[in-house]
Amino acid sequence: MPDSDQVLSQAEIDAMLNGGGGDSPAAVEAPPASPPPPVAQTPAPAPPDPPSAAGLGQDEVQGLSQRIAGLEESVQRLSSQAAPNLDQSFQQLSQQIQQLFGDLQAMNSKVDGVTETLQATVGFGVRSVFVCKSCEAQGHVATRLTCTSCGTEEWWGWFPPAE
């Protein structure tokens, strides 16, 4: 009997052992092997929208956001393919991250300074802390403003809803 890697059914094996004719092993075909399922690659998450520091330093915040997106793209590229000078690439990436960290600290210092200055103003957070001593209404506060050009006076602030 010739060597064969073919799979035989139980009936064919029994027929061969009992000396029966049956189908010859060469006539039996093995089912084709199915290919492995494809491996799905997950795309890199989109960079978050740049934060806004109350409209201050928009260009700086946007620039930092773009740099972060570039760093994320670099990391993704490095992880998906081996770079010839991997140590040098990681060293450059480390330097970029340190630079970005320094820039973010400088931005935080500026925002802290602006916040501290705002807290020293009369109107800072007045709507959330004002309570009338007479009627105990909360957050309904306004001030009279005068136009310095024509002298017209107006009220500016937060009023209760009209009934």
Residue 81's pLDDT band, with cuts at 50, 70 and 90, is: low
Q: What is the dihedral of CA 11, 17, 22, 25, to 10 degrees?
A: 90
pLDDT at residue 42, as a whole number: 53
Asked if residue 134 is part of any domain, the answer here is yes
Asked if residue 23 is part of any domain, the answer here is no
The sign of the CA dihedral 52, 138, 118, 113 is: negative
Please give the residue range of the domain that contains residue 105: 58-117
Asked if residue 8 is part of any domain, the answer here is no
Q: What is the pLDDT of residues 29-60, one digit of tens each?
A: 444 555 555 545 555 555 455 444 445 577 78
End-to-end CA distance of the chain: 102
Q: Are residues 134 and 113 in the same domain?
A: no
Can you give the pTM of this predicted structure? 0.36
Asked if residue 43 is part of any domain, the answer here is no
Q: What is the pLDDT of residues 86-105, one digit of tens each?
A: 777 788 888 999 999 999 99
Residue 140's pLDDT band, with cuts at 50, 70 and 90, is: very high
Asked if residue 99 is part of any domain, the answer here is yes
pLDDT at residue 38, as a whole number: 54
